[in-house]
Chains A and B, each alone.
Chain A
Amino acid sequence: MDSEKELFTVSVFSENTVGLLSQVALIYTRRCINIESISASTCSIPGVIKWTITSIATRHAMEKVVLQIEKCIEVLKAFLYTDDEIVYQEVALYKVDTSLLMDEPHLEEIIRNHNARILDINRDFTVIEKTGHYSETTALFEELKRYNLRQFVRSGRVTITKSEREFVSEYIEKQNQRKNGSQQG
C-alpha cells in the first residue's frame, strides 16, 4: 500500500438535498482528513449538484472516502482524481488601495504580467481578479503583499475531467433503464 500523501480532488455528483454536506464532511472528519477546499454548483445535468473537494491524504484512504461518499443515498457518483487527470481552476480576488494603483507604476505591470484583471474600482479601493492554479494565484498574492494588500480570498477548485466518457451521464442513463424495467416488470 502506498503511504505517500498527495493532493487529491474528489468530484461528487449528488441530488440537491438538505443535510448532505454534513454527512460528507463527517466522512472526512472520521478519518481525520482535512478538507483543503470545497466548492459546489449546479452542473450540466438538471437537478444535479457537483461538488469539488480537495484534500491531502494517501490514495488508500481516499479510495475509501470516495466509496463512503457514494454510499450516501443521495449521492449519484463520486470520483477520485489526481491533478493530471483533470482540468482545474480557482479564482482569487485581491483588494488594494486605489491610491497605490495610481502611485506605484509597477502595480499595473504586475497585474498585466499575471494575466489578472481589474474587477471593480472606486476612489478608495480596487478589486483585482485572477483565475488560475493555486500556484499562480499564490504568486500574485506574494507580489501584492508588498503593496498593502487589504484582502485576499481564493475560491474552492472547480474541475472538468479529461476523460473521453461522461460517467455520470452513463450512470443516469443506466439507472433510467432500470427504472423503466422495474416499472414494466
Chain B
Amino acid sequence: MRDILELENVSLIYQSELKETEAVKDLSFSVKDGEFVSIIGPSGCGKTTVLSMIAGLIPTTKGKILYKNEQIEKVSSGVSYMLQRDELFPWRTIEKNVYLPLEIKKIKDASAYERANDLIKKYGLEDFKKAFPHELSGGMRQRAALIRTLSTSPDVLLLDEPFSALDYQTRLSVCNDVYKIIKSEKKTAILVTHDISEAISLSDRILVLTKRPATLYKEHVLPFNKRLSPLKRREQKEFPILFDVLWRELNDEN
C-alpha cells in the first residue's frame, strides 16, 4: 500500500503577544492508504495542532506535509476534519446539516447529494432526515456529524477526540459504529484521543507523542485480526498488555 500522507520534519511555533510556544518539533510519520492511525500523548502536547496542520488550517513553521505527494497549503477536499463536538447547526435539519460541506464547496451535481442521502439511509438516520439536531441523541448526532464529514467523499478523515463529549455507554457503541462506517467506506483515518483503550480498540497503528513540543516517542503496530470489531478487540488477551505498555509510556512522558 502506498503512503497517502507524509509528514517530514514538521515543526510548529505559535506566536502570540507575550511569547512563542513551540508546539510541534521535528515530527515525521506517514500514513498508508486505508490505514487507521491513532495519536496519543500527554495533554497539551500538540495533538490538535498536528491535525490542524494536516487539515491545512495552519501552515507549518518548518517541514512539509504531503497528501498524495503534494504539499498541503490550504484546506483540501481530500482531507476532512471531524471536530470534538458535533457542531450541527440547530437551525438546520439533519439532512441540511449533512449538505453543508457540499454547499460550501459549491458542489451542484445531483450525484453528490444522492451519495450523501445514501449515507444517511445506510447509517440509520433516514427517519431523522427532516428532524432538527436537538431531537437526536448524542450518539446519533455524532453519527450525523460523521456523515457530514463524509459527504464530500474525502480520502482521509481527521478525528479530534470525536467521542469525548459522550457518556461511556454511548461512547462504546458510537465508537463501534464509526469504526464500521470508516472501514466500510474504505477511508484512511487519523484519530487523536486521550483514551488509551479507545486507541487500542480502533487502530492499526498507534503513535505516542512526547510532551510539548510534540515529537514521535513510540510507535506500535497492533496485532489484531482486521475483522475484529472494536468491542471484540477489548476481549482479546493482548488488550490489557498493550494497555499497560501504552499507559507506562504516557506516564514516562508526563
> Do A and B come together as binding partners?
no
Instruction: Mark A residues whose CB is within 8 Å of B.
Output: none
